[in-house]
Structure formats: C-alpha cells, structure tokens
Amino acid sequence: MEFSVEGKFNLEVNTNEIDSRIAQIRGLALSRLGDTDKLKACFGSIDLTTLNTTDTKKRGRNFAEKVNSFAVDFPEMPNVAAICVYPTLVSAVKENLNVKGVKVASVAAGFPSSQTFLEIKLAECRMAIEQGADEIDVVIPVGSFLEGDLYYVFNEVKQIKEVAGETHVKVILETGALPSLSDIKLASFLSMEGGADFIKTSTGKLEPAATPEAVYVMCTAIKEFYEKTNRRVGIKPAGGVVSSSEALVYYTIVEQVLGSPWLSPDLFRLGASRLANNLLSDIYGRAVSYF
C-alpha cells in the first residue's frame, strides 16, 4: 500500500539555513557552560541508561538504588528523568525504585536493529509494559524505510502505540543510518503520524549517533506537527551525548526551535550513560563519579 505525508507536511530542508542556525546555537550554548540552572535542567532530563550484553538483574537493582540515594546525597539537584534498560531488567528496576517522578523505560521491539517479525515486536512491547515499564523505546524498521515502504513504517509505529496505550512510546529514527536530513524529517513525520509520544535520534549502537543537525530538523518537524495537530511530541537526542557542552547544544536547539514548553522531562530527554557524571562534575566544579 502506498503511503505518503507529502502535501500534508513540509519535507523541504534548507541545509545552509540549518548550518547557520546551528553555528549561532553553538555560540549561545557555549556561553551557558557556567549556567548551573541550565546544567541542572539537562541533568533532570537524562534517561540513565544501561544497554550492555553483560547486564544483569543485579545491575538493574544497583541502578535503582543509586537513583534512590541520589536525592539524599545531592538534595539540591533534580533527579534523572528515567532509568532505561532491556526488558528483562525492567522488573528489577521497578521493584527497587522508590523515587517519585523517575520513570522506568525499556527498549523493545527488536532493539537495536528492529529486524524481527512485527508480532514479536508487539509481544515484546506488551511484556515490557506488563513487567512495569512506564515508557518503551523502539526503533523504526529502517530497512523498510530505505526501501520506500513508508506505509509499513507508519503502520508499525501505529500498532506499537496501540499496544502501548497510555505508556509513552519513544520512536528511534536511527538518524545516522538515514541518507539525508530530508529523510530524517520524513521519518519524523511518519513516526508522529503513527502516534509516537517522543522521537529519538539513535540507539547509540551506530555511528554517527545524535547530531545537532538531525535534532534541529526533528525539532522543526515537531513544531510543524504541533501547529497542524495541536499535539506536542517530545524530542530525545541520544547516542554519543557525553559532555555538558554537547548537552547544552541540544537543550538550546529545543529552546530556540520549540520554546520553553518543551524544556521539561515531559517533552525533552537526553539519552546518555556517561553524561550524568560529567554534568555533576561541571555543576560542582570537581570530579564526581556517582553513577
């Protein structure tokens, strides 16, 4: 079945304009490195993540316990937004996490390649939610997208969201595998049309991962989608976001393109495993290795 968002959304991308805006945003972000409030806002948007082949339930419990004690050890800091793990660790995190407001997120649906049968993807999402996941992170079927089967991409996201119901679905575009910024914009609209609550750059398993250019284009798509549907979709730069300066670039892109309503964990996340300690070190002006 043919499917297209052309005519409904603007798929054009002006690379010269994007380069100019990114240069301006980098300058503004650099000037904010000493702004503790903005660094704290970035920290409070982190999805604290462990996605290793060697992960154990003990590691899931330890992650939860670290987050539990963080509010005691750093009472002036916001906590992270979520703990993100594989489906088999969800129950271990859920049973040991006792901090209000911190979500349990699970990758699912054949993560990270999305190369399995739709029925298995739906079952895995359902099972992760049954184990206690508040959010699921799924990857679009990139192969189908590259073959031009846009309806399949849209329909898969739609079916996953139908299974998830009120559980938030973050749809990963794997932007580094898409040929152009125009393709990233198209994938953004397909995912949002399918019901995505967030769109996310990357799994962190491929290079390049998150880039300012990709996130800028995704934010412009989110803005247009909101203007036409009145539905706010969140944005999650993920993959290779390590330093405070990188986090501030993404924070500033969201601020400049989408505005302050998006600058909360409800609509802005940073997918990172090493960023938390680097932000803490820059906030406190000393080396901090808490997580």
Phi-psi region of 190 (alpha: psi -120 to 50; beta: other; left: phi over 0): alpha
- Let me know if 99 is exposed, middle or buried by CB neighbors in 10 A (0-12, 13-18, 19+): middle
Annotated catalytic residues are: 137, 200, 236
Q: Which residues contact 165 (CB under 8 A, 6 or more apart)?
A: none
For the beta carbon of residue 89, count every other beta carbon within 10 angstroms: 25
Minimal CA–CA distance to 4: which of 152, 133, 215?
Answer: 152
Cα–Cα distances in angstroms (integers) from residue 252 to residues 18, 212, 262, in the given order: 14, 10, 11
Task: Please list, residue by residue across 38-50, b when 16 or more beta carbons sit within 10 angstroms of its beta carbon and e when fewer do.
Answer: bbbbbbbbbbbbb
